[in-house]
């Protein structure tokens, strides 16, 4: 049987051009996105059940830098589970930290919540015995960074709304996750009290504010994406409890923005990813921005070209055919590859992805272009989210600092520059003088320890006065 001839219909420049058009997010589109974002934020602040839920975090006010003491922090929701012990030393002196990482297996991520809690409890137990803190009389106070959408009812109470980022444990939705984990500590006689549950964005904001009080927004651009910011009491219209604060940090859960698909420029590659994910039609914004998904979008775009004989002479490999087979980390290597023959790109394609033909320079150019476009689109959409928050608070016209953590922001080449370019395109160049995007590396654990400390002291003071 004669083989199908390689399509001659498109030369490499046409392919590159076509891809550029598919992944483009024009300034007009970004303006529409920001407008829609602002409407969704208002809905979330007004009532429960909105797509962008705008969750009050029960964290009020800013840390003062005078916080002192020894606190544990637990960080679940990224690649690893981290257990940390912080010694807060007071103003100007910062803190010291001991920490240990534990791998959470896929089986635990998708098994029963009770098993996950038992695993976390074992890790905490192991950590505190190694630190020699397992025989203390008083309970150790812990800040629990749990980076999923939790509808909080207090500083250390909250029910899980739904899972994200590949977690899917049974028996957790609509349950209080603090109660579940505290029960696991009890079952194993671990003398630890969960003083606060904190989203990673909130932890990041707190940690950065501790050193830079002018920080106004905390953003995660990592495995998942989300943001939080200080909202005025009057702005949180749905807040019906005691009104004894000026402003409170609101965890936006912006990953769910536009689940209705009104304004985001979804391509067929995004739709394929979404349909095959464990949470179809959820976290649509997150799926266009965060590290868990970007590589998969690139993979889908590559396979589409392979199937049209426009890439790798129509050949794929079992590695490239496998869902999640193209990691977002490869994008960093490929985007950073400026060698004339695109040697690192070739290495990824031939030695890691085992593409069965020798790739041509055109193949490598196309792959690099896809990686750059997917990363650029993510940076522009992230900038749109930040622009929407700054417009909402009015900080767009004032000096402000945005604390950002996460592998996408830290490791994808040019990500920050592309975000800043997008923001100046929208709000004028002068924004570059007012706005500082600042890497807040691993801040969420420290931030959780600060929140635990404030919550613990408040609980002691309340007990003393009653
Ligand atoms: C979660 C957020 C979290 C973000 C970044 C999202 O999937 O819903 O709670 O802040 O990931 O980790």
Does 173 reside within a domain? yes
- DSSP output for 128-193: HHHTT-TT-SSPEEEEEEE-S-EEEEETTEEEE----TT---BT-BTSBHHHHHHHHHHHTT--EE
The active-site residue out of 200, 258, 270, 395 is: 200
The active-site residue out of 46, 118, 122, 165 is: 165
User: Closest Cα to atom 1, ligand 1: which residue?
Assistant: 148
If pLDDT is split at 50, 70 and 90, which confidence band does 61 have?
confident
With H, G, I as helix, E, B as strand and everything else as coil, classify residue 65.
Answer: coil
Residue 416 is encoded by which pair of tokens? 């920050």
Ligand 1 neighbourhood includes 290 CB (under 6 angstroms): no
What does the pLDDT look like over 262-321, one tens digit per residue? Answer: 999 999 999 999 999 999 999 999 999 999 999 999 999 999 999 999 999 999 999 999
> What CATH number is given to the structural domain containing 154?
3.30.420.40
User: Closest Cα to atom 3, ligand 1: which residue?
Assistant: 147
Distance 157 CA to ligand 1 centre (A): 18
Best substitution site from 54, 55, 104, 147 to test ligand 1's pocket, by max atoms within 8 Å of Cβ?
147
State what percent of residues in the chain have pLDDT above 70.
97
Does 141 reside within a domain? yes
Does 69 reside within a domain? yes
What does the pLDDT look like over 80-93, one tens digit per residue? Answer: 899 999 998 877 77
Question: Vertex 297, ends 295 and 303: CA angle to 5°?
Answer: 100
Does 465 reside within a domain? no
Q: Is 165 a catalytic residue?
A: yes
Does 464 reside within a domain? no
Q: What atom in ligand 1 is closest to the CA of residue 224?
A: 11
Domain span at residue 133 reads 56-212+442-456
Per the structure, the count of domains in the chain is 1
Q: What is the pTM of this model?
A: 0.95
Does 317 reside within a domain? no
Distance 37 CA to ligand 1 centre (A): 17
């Amino acid at each position: 049987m004669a083989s199908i001839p390689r399509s001659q219909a498109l030369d490499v420049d046409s392919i590159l051009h076509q891809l550029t058009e598919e992944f483009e997010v024009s300034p007009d589109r970004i303006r529409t996105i920001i407008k829609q974002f602002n409407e969704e934020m208002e809905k979330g602040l007004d009532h429960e059940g909105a797509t962008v839920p705008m969750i009050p975090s029960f964290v009020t006010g800013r840390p003062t830098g005078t916080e002192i003491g020894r606190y544990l922090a637990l960080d679940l929701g990224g690649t690893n589970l981290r257990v940390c012990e912080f010694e807060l030393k007071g103003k100007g002196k910062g803190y010291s930290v001991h920490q240990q990482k534990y791998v959470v297996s896929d089986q635990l991520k998708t098994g029963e919540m009770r098993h996950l809690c038992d695993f976390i409890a074992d890790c905490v137990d192991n950590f505190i015995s190694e630190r020699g803190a397992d025989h203390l009389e008083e309970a150790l106070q812990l800040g629990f960074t749990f980076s999923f959408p939790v509808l909080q009812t207090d500083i250390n109470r909250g029910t899980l709304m739904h899972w994200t980022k590949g977690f899917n444990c049974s028996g957790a939705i609509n349950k209080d996750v603090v109660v579940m984990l505290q029960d696991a500590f009890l079952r194993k006689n671990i003398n630890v009290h969960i003083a606060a549950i904190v989203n990673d964005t909130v932890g990041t904001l707190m940690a950065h504010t501790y050193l830079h009080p002018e920080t106004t927004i905390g953003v995660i651009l990592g495995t998942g994406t989300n943001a939080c910011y200080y909202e005025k009491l009057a702005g949180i219209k749905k807040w019906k409890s005691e009104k004894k604060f000026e402003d409170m940090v609101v965890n936006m859960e912006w990953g769910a923005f536009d689940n209705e698909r009104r304004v985001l420029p979804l391509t067929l590659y995004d739709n394929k990813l979404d349909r095959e994910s464990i949470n179809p039609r959820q976290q649509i914004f997150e799926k266009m921005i965060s590290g868990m998904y970007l590589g998969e979008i690139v993979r889908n775009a590559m396979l589409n070209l392979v199937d049209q004989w426009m890439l790798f002479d129509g050949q794929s490999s079992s590695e490239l055919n496998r869902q999640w087979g193209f990691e977002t980390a490869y994008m960093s290597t490929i985007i950073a590859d400026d060698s004339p023959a695109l040697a690192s790109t070739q290495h990824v394609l031939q030695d890691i992805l085992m593409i069965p033909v020798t790739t041509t320079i055109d193949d490598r150019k196309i792959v690099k272009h896809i990686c750059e476009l997917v990363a650029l689109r993510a940076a522009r959409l992230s900038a749109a989210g930040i622009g929407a928050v700054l417009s909402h608070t009015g900080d767009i016209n004032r000096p402000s600092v945005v604390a950002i953590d996460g592998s996408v922001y830290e490791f994808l080449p040019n990500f920050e520059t592309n975000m800043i370019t997008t923001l100046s395109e929208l709000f004028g160049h002068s924004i570059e003088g007012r706005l500082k995007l600042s890497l807040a590396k691993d801040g969420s654990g420290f931030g959780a320890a600060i929140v635990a400390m404030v919550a613990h002291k408040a609980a002691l003071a309340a007990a003393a006065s009653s």
